[in-house]
C-alpha cells in the first residue's frame, strides 16, 4: 500500500521530528547530569583520614616591586580546628591572624610591602589543635623600586569573605580612623566590594608582629567611635551545628570577650590592646533568617529593649526600635538565660514554654544598636555572661556522657 502524503504535510512532519529529537536530547542530558550529581554526593559521604592542615594560596603575584603593597590571599582548612596560622619572612613573624576556638577555616589577606629587591621567601605555617602541622613556601620576585620616591598613595583591595577590612588596613600601618575617612560606606561593605587603603608617606611598612596597637598602643592609632560597628565578615565553621541558635552555615562573625574594636562597653578587666568587651557571639545572616531555641525553657521577656539608654537612632543600619538590643527574646532555663538580640520579628511571647531545642522563636534583623543584620546571642549563668561556645561544649560533654551510660 502506498500512502500518498501531500507535500505541505512534509513540512509538519519535518518540524515535528526536529522537535522530538531536541526533547529526546534534553532528556538524555538531564539523566547524565543527575548521575553526575549522584556521584558527587557519594564522594562527599566517604570518610577521609586525618590529614595535616590544608594551606591554599588563593592569590599571589609572581612579581612585585619594592614599596608596592602586595596583598597575598591564603586559605587554611583543618577539620579538627586550627590553633595557629603564622606567616614568616626569614626569622620575622609578619602576619598572624586571630583564630577563634573551634575555627576550621581561616581566610586572610596577608598584607605585605617588600622593602628590598631579590627573591623573598614567605613561609606559611599552620598548626591544628591536635598539634598536626603543615607548611607552605611562597617565593616572590621583588624588583627594585621605580623612580619616584615616598609620597602618599592609596590602593584598593577587593574584600572577600573572611577578610576583616580593619585588620587589612592595620597590616599596612593604616589606622582605623584613616580607613573610615577613606571609605564612606565601610559599614555596608560586603564580599566583592573594593575598599581603599590610604597609605601615608613614610608609612605602609607592616610593623613587627603585623599590626599596630589601637588607642595609644605601640602604633599610636586613635580609638575611633565604635558606635560605628565594623562588619567582621569572617566565616567560621562552628563545631556546634546541633546546638546552634541559627543555621550554622552562618558562621560566628565576632566572638565573646575582650576585643580590639567594638561598639560595646569598655571592659574593666580587658588588656589595653583589646579594650572592648563583647557580651555574646555575633552571627551575621540575612534579615528574616529563622532563629531557634537551643534548649527547653520559659520566655521571660520578648519585645523592645526598654531598659537600655543606648540610643542608636543615628547609627547607620539600625532599624526601629533603636535602643540597645532592639527587639529581643530572653529564655530562662534553670540557672541559664539565653538572649537573642536585634530581631526583625518576634514569634515568642512572654510566658511561652518551649519543650525542646530547635523551635522557632523569631527572625534575624538589625533593630537596636546594630549596623547590619545579625544575631547577637548571649548565655548568662546565674545572671553573669559566659562564652556561649563554652556552654555549647558543656552540652556536648553532657550528651556524650548520656551516650556512655546508655
Ligand atoms: Zn554582638
Contact 338, 297 (CB under 8 A): yes
Q: How much distance in Å is there from the Cα of 281 to the middle of ligand 1?
A: 6
Yes or no: say if 150 and 201 are a contact pair by the CB < 8 Å rule: yes
Q: What is the CATH number of domain 285-399?
A: 2.70.70.10
- pLDDT surpassing 90 at residue 328: yes
| Predicted local confidence at residue 212, as pLDDT | 37
Q: What are the sequence ranges of the domains in the chain?
A: 51-144, 152-224, 285-399
pLDDT score at 7 = 66
3-state secondary structure the chain: CCCCCCHHHHHHHHHHHHHHHHHHHHHHHHHHHHHHHHHHHHHHHCCCCCCCCEEEEEECCCEEECCCCCCEEEEEECCCCEEEEEEEECCEEEECCCCCCCCCEEEEEECCCCCCCEEEEEEEEEEECCCCEEEEEEEEEEECCCCCCCCCEEEEEECCCCCCHHHHHHHCCCCHHHHHHHCCCHHHCCCCCEEEEEECCCCCCCCCCCCCCCCCCCCCCCCCCCCCCCCCCCCCCCCCHHHCCCCCCCCEEECCEEECCCCCEECCCCCCCCCEEECCEEEECCCCCEEECCCCEEEEEEECCCCCCCECCCCCCCECCCECCCEEEEEEECCEEEEEEEEEEECCCCCCEECCCCCEEEEEECECCCCCCEEEEEEEECCEEECHHHHHHHHHHHHHHHHHHC
Judged against a pLDDT cut of 70, whether residue 329 lies above it is answered with yes
Beta partners for 155?
Answer: 197
Distance CA 94, CA 121 (A): 12
Name the band, by pLDDT with cuts 50, 70 and 90, for residue 38: very low
Give residue 266 CA to ligand 1 midpoint distance, Å: 14
From the CA of 5, how far away is ligand 1's center (Å)?
A: 78
Q: How much distance in Å is there from the Cα of 83 to the middle of ligand 1?
A: 24
Tell which wins on pLDDT, 196 or 10.
Answer: 196
Q: Do domains 51-144 and 152-224 have the same CATH topology?
A: no
Q: Give pLDDT, residue 258.
A: 79
pLDDT above 50 (res 343): yes
Per-residue confidence (pLDDT) for residue 400, from 0 to 100? 63
User: Rounded to whole angstroms, how far apart are CA atoms 100 and 254?
Assistant: 9
CA 246 / ligand 1 centre spacing (Å) = 14
φ and ψ of 382, to 5 deg: 50, 45
Alpha carbon of 328 to ligand 1 centroid (Å): 12
CATH: 1.10.4100, 3.10.350, 2.60.40, 3.30.70. Which one for 152-224? 3.10.350
**pLDDT at residue 198, rounded to an integer:** 86
Percent of the chain topping pLDDT 70 = 66
Ligand 1 center from residue 370 Cα (angstroms): 8
How many Å lie between the centroid of ligand 1 and the Cα of residue 165? 18
Model pLDDT, residue 302:
98
Of the ranges 8-22, 104-118, 163-177, 343-357, which is most confident?
A: 343-357
Q: pLDDT by residue (tens digit) across 154-210?
A: 788 887 665 667 667 767 777 767 887 888 777 667 667 888 888 776 554 444 333
User: What average pLDDT does range 225-251 have in this prediction?
Assistant: 52
Residues 267 and 275: beta-carbon distance below 8 Å: yes
**Mean pLDDT score, 353-370:** 90
The residue with greater pLDDT, 194 or 132, is 132
Q: What is the pLDDT of residue 229?
A: 36
pLDDT of residue 265: 63
Give the least confident one: 179-188, 218-227, 316-325.
Answer: 218-227
**pLDDT at 247 > cutoff 50:** yes
Residue 45 has pLDDT above 50, yes or no: no
CA of 310 to the centre of ligand 1 (A): 14
| Residues 23-33: tens digit of each pLDDT | 666 666 566 55
Ligand 1 centroid–CA 1 distance in Å is: 85
pLDDT in tens, 99-125: 766 667 777 777 788 878 888 889 999
Per-position b or e across 277-294, b if 16+ CB within 10 A of its CB: bbbbbbbbbebebebbbb
Question: What is the average pLDDT value for the chain, to the nearest integer?
Answer: 75
Tell me, what's the pLDDT at 311?
A: 85
Are the beta carbons of 364 and 402 closer than 8 angstroms?
Answer: no
| Residues forming beta bridges with residue 358, ordered by sequence position | none
Q: What is the CA(80)–ligand 1 centre distance, in A?
A: 26
Judge contact between 99 and 85, C-beta under 8 A.
yes
389 alpha carbon to ligand 1 midpoint, in Å? Answer: 14
Q: What is the pLDDT of residue 405?
A: 46
Q: For residue 17, is pLDDT > 80?
A: no
Mean pLDDT of 78-90: 87
pLDDT value for 102: 64
pLDDT at 375: 92
Architecture of domain 51-144: Sandwich (2.60)
CA of 262 to the centre of ligand 1 (A): 9
Distance 9 CA to ligand 1 centre (A): 73
* Residue 57 to residue 13: CA distance in whole angstroms: 58
The pLDDT value recorded for residue 41 is: 43
How far does residue 119's CA lie from ligand 1's centre (Å)?
44
Return the percentage of the chain with pLDDT > 90, whole number. 23
Which of residues 152 and 395 earns the better pLDDT score?
A: 395
Question: 208-222, 242-256, 266-280: which has the minimum mean pLDDT?
Answer: 208-222
CA separation for the pair 256, 227 (Å, rounded): 18
Distances (CA, A) of 68 to 141, 143, 191, 283: 12, 10, 24, 35
Strands 133-143 and 63-65: parallel
For the segment 227-237, the average pLDDT, to the nearest whole number, is: 36
Amino acid at each position: 500500500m502506498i500512502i500518498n502524503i501531500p507535500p505541505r504535510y512534509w513540512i509538519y512532519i519535518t518540524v515535528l521530528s526536529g522537535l522530538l529529537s531536541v526533547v529526546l536530547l534534553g532528556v538524555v542530558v538531564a539523566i547524565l547530569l543527575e548521575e553526575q550529581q549522584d556521584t558527587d554526593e557519594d564522594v562527599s559521604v566517604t570518610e577521609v583520614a586525618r590529614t595535616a592542615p590544608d594551606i591554599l594560596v588563593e592569590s599571589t603575584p609572581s612579581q612585585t616591586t619594592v614599596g608596592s603593597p602586595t596583598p597575598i590571599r591564603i586559605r587554611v582548612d583543618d577539620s579538627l580546628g586550627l590553633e595557629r596560622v603564622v606567616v614568616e619572612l626569614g626569622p620575622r613573624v609578619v602576619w598572624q591572624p586571630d583564630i577563634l576556638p573551634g575555627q576550621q577555616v581561616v581566610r586572610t589577606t596577608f598584607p605585605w610591602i617588600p622593602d628590598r629587591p631579590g627573591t623573598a621567601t614567605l613561609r606559611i605555617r599552620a598548626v591544628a589543635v591536635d598539634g598536626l602541622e603543615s607548611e607552605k613556601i611562597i617565593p616572590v620576585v621583588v624588583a627594585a623600586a621605580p623612580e619616584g620616591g615616598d609620597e602618599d598613595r592609596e590602593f584598593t583591595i577587593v574584600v572577600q569573605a573572611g577578610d576583616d577590612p580593619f585588620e587589612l588596613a592595620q597590616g599596612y600601618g593604616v589606622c582605623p580612623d584613616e580607613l573610615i575617612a577613606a571609605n564612606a560606606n565601610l559599614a555596608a561593605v560586603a564580599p566583592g566590594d573594593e575598599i581603599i587603603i590610604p597609605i601615608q608617606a613614610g608609612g605602609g611598612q607592616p610593623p613587627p608582629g603585623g599590626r599596630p596597637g589601637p588607642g595609644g598602643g605601640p602604633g599610636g592609632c586613635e580609638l575611633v567611635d565604635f558606635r560605628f560597628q565594623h562588619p567582621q565578615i569572617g566565616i567560621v565553621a562552628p563545631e556546634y551545628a546541633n546546638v546552634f541558635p541559627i543555621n550554622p552555615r552562618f558562621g560566628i562573625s565576632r566572638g565573646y570577650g575582650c576585643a580590639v574594636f567594638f561598639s560595646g562597653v569598655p571592659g574593666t578587666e580587658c588588656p589595653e590592646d583589646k579594650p572592648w568587651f563583647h557580651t555574646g557571639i555575633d552571627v551575621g545572616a540575612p534579615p528574616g533568617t529563622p532563629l531557634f531555641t537551643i534548649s527547653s525553657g520559659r520566655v521571660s521577656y520578648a519585645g523592645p529593649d526598654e531598659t537600655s539608654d543606648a540610643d542608636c537612632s543615628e547609627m547607620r543600619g539600625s532599624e526601629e526600635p533603636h535602643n540597645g538590643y532592639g527587639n529581643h527574646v530572653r529564655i530562662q532555663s534553670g540557672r541559664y538565660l539565653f538572649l537573642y538580640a536585634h530581631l526583625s520579628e518576634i514569634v515568642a511571647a512572654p510566658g511561652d514554654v518551649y519543650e525542646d531545642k530547635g523551635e522557632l522563636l523569631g527572625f534575624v534583623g538589625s533593630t537596636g544598636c546594630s549596623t547590619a543584620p545579625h544575631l547577637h546571642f548571649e548565655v548568662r549563668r546565674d545572671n553573669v555572661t559566659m562564652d556561649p561556645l563554652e556552654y555549647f561544649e558543656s552540652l556536648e560533654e553532657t550528651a556524650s556522657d548520656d551516650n556512655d551510660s546508655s
